[in-house]
Chains A and B, each alone.
Chain A
Amino acid sequence: MLYLFGLALGVGFGVSVAAFGCSLAQGRAVAAALEGAARQPEAAGRLTTLMILGLAFIESLTIYALILGFLLSSRLPETEKVLNLITGR
């Protein structure tokens, strides 16, 4: 029972915590790119390409957490079964 509780919590918190860290990092990357583009508007095109590349790297870490979430959530039982377990069938 504790195992299922832990599993459900893990599935819920996994992607959320990863997304939290990802948003901080991506905010910093975009802020740096915008600052650079504000200083030198003619470099904006090249900066955009580099920014997209950097954002994709940061985002891929959250995608790994999402894939783990997919894997774990396929191991969660149906709500019916858990309710039967709790009420003793």
Chain B
Amino acid sequence: MKCRGAAGLATLALSLLAVRPALAAEEGGEHVGTWLNWLFKVKVGGHPVVSNPAELAFAWAVVLVIALMAAAVIGSRRLAVRPGPFQTLLETAVGALQSVIEGVMGPKGKDFLPFIGSIFIYVFLMNLMGIIPGFLSPTSNLSITAAMAVSIFVVVQFYGFKESGFGYLKHFLEGLPPVPSLRTTAFSWYVMQMLLLALMGAFIFAVHLIGEFVRPVSLSLRLFGNIAGEEAIVLTLVTLVAATRLFWIPVQLPNLALGLLTAFVQALVMSLLAAVYLSGAAPHASEAERAAPG
């Protein structure tokens, strides 16, 4: 009985928190109202800090980074063998991430735990920020998701070239039949087969190369579309309710609950895909890992 009362109060409180952004949404048209909107008016060196609504996402990203750094500093002070609650939480999160990454990549996943773990925590918290009324997820801006996708792409290519040198380019020729040996085939037959292999090889190389470059595009668009779409739905619903002045009806609540699930799933998908691409760029990959789709 105590739980139900508390849940009802929490819903009411949350919907009241949405009043100020809802008013801003109504007066500004389709423009999102957040607690950092005063940055539109602050001028540094003659220019406003934020000049268009898309740039608000960067301001919120700065807020998140500062909060994460504070949490990291506080969490790693006085590390004890018998940990307190905050340290237990952090250790559980890191342990779960490590088991998931090693499930995908095998034992060499441990080297990539910092990179992929950071991507997961960063994306998850950024997605979650949009659900709180008055906050804005940085991932609703395509530049921020594209930055992460490009960094994953660069790390994968760098890892591939570092591990196999120029043999990494053999990854782009998968599916090509083996080269015939001069000892067992007639010379004219050999020349014709080499010509056909060169033609097919060029085609297969082009297809794999395009697939490789499409990966950051699909990574960034997937995350951006999910989060920006969810924000658009919530904004539309809040604008509808704000027009009737009945602010205390939390019409956007089911979408916010779905947003919690989407936040977690999209963060998981981004980090899992980073792990899969990395394991695909490794040398002597097995058949199952080589078939990583784009």
Task: Report A's interface with B, CB cutoff 8 A.
Answer: 46, 49, 52-53, 56-57, 59-60, 63-64, 66-67, 70
Whether A52 contacts B268 by the Cβ 8 Å rule is yes
Whether A66 contacts B266 by the Cβ 8 Å rule is no
Partner of A56, one of B229, B232, B266: B266
Contact code string B218-237 (vs A, CB < 8 Å = 1, else 0): 10011011101100100000
Given A60-B225, A67-B224, A67-B225, 9 extra CB contacts under 8 A? A53-B272, A56-B222, A57-B293, A60-B221, A60-B222, A63-B222, A63-B225, A64-B221, A66-B225
Whether B265 contacts A64 by the Cβ 8 Å rule is no
Whether A64 contacts B225 by the Cβ 8 Å rule is yes
Which size bracket describes the interface of B in this complex? 10 to 19
Task: Give the complex CA separation of A64 and B222 in angstroms.
Answer: 7
Chain B residues near A66 (CB, 8 Å)? 225, 229
Shortest distance between the CB of A3 and any CB in chain B (Å): 24
Chain B residues near A70 (CB, 8 Å)? 228, 232
Within 8 A of A (CB), among B102-129: 103
Task: Give the complex CA separation of A70 and B265 in angstroms.
Answer: 23
Task: Give the complex CA separation of A63 and B221 in angstroms.
Answer: 8
Task: Give the complex CA separation of A63 and B266 in angstroms.
Answer: 12
Task: Give the complex CA separation of A49 and B96 in angstroms.
Answer: 13
Within 8 A of A (CB), among B264-294: 265-266, 268-269, 272-273, 276, 293
Chain A residues near B268 (CB, 8 Å)? 52
Whether A52 contacts B269 by the Cβ 8 Å rule is yes
Task: Give the complex CA separation of A56 and B272 in angstroms.
Answer: 11
**Which single residue of chain A is at the shortest CB-CB distance from B270?**
A56
Grouping DSSP codes into helix (H, G, I), strand (E, B) and loop, the A interface class, with mixed when no group exceeds half, is: helix
Confirm or deny: B148 has a beta carbon within 8 angstroms of a beta carbon on chain A: no
7 nearest interchain CB pairs? A63-B225, A56-B269, A60-B222, A67-B225, A66-B225, A66-B229, A53-B272
Task: Give the complex CA separation of A70 and B228 in angstroms.
Answer: 10
Shortest distance between the CB of B101 and any CB in chain A (Å): 11
Whether B218 contacts A60 by the Cβ 8 Å rule is yes
Chain A residues near B232 (CB, 8 Å)? 70
Whether B265 contacts A49 by the Cβ 8 Å rule is no
Confirm or deny: B204 has a beta carbon within 8 angstroms of a beta carbon on chain A: no
Task: Give the complex CA separation of A15 and B233 in angstroms.
Answer: 14
**Which single residue of chain A is at the shortest CB-CB distance from B268?**
A52
Chain A residues near B103 (CB, 8 Å)? 46, 49
Whether B229 contacts A49 by the Cβ 8 Å rule is no
Confirm or deny: B100 has a beta carbon within 8 angstroms of a beta carbon on chain A: yes
Task: Give the complex CA separation of A63 and B293 in angstroms.
Answer: 17
Whether B222 contacts A49 by the Cβ 8 Å rule is no
Task: Give the complex CA separation of A32 and B261 in angstroms.
Answer: 22
Partner of B100, one of A49, A63, A64, A67: A49
The winner among B218, B222, B293 for most chain A CB atoms within 10 A is B222
Task: Give the complex CA separation of A56 and B265 in angstroms.
Answer: 8
Shortest distance between the CB of A68 and any CB in chain B (Å): 10
**Which single residue of chain A is at the shortest CB-CB distance from B222?**
A60
Task: Give the complex CA separation of A53 and B268 in angstroms.
Answer: 8
**Which single residue of chain B is at the shortest CB-CB distance from A65?**
B225
**Which single residue of chain A is at the shortest CB-CB distance from B276?**
A53
Q: List 21 A-B contacts (CB under 8 A).
A: A46-B103, A49-B100, A52-B265, A52-B269, A53-B272, A53-B273, A53-B276, A56-B222, A56-B265, A56-B266, A63-B222, A63-B225, A63-B226, A63-B229, A64-B221, A64-B225, A66-B225, A66-B229, A67-B221, A70-B228, A70-B232
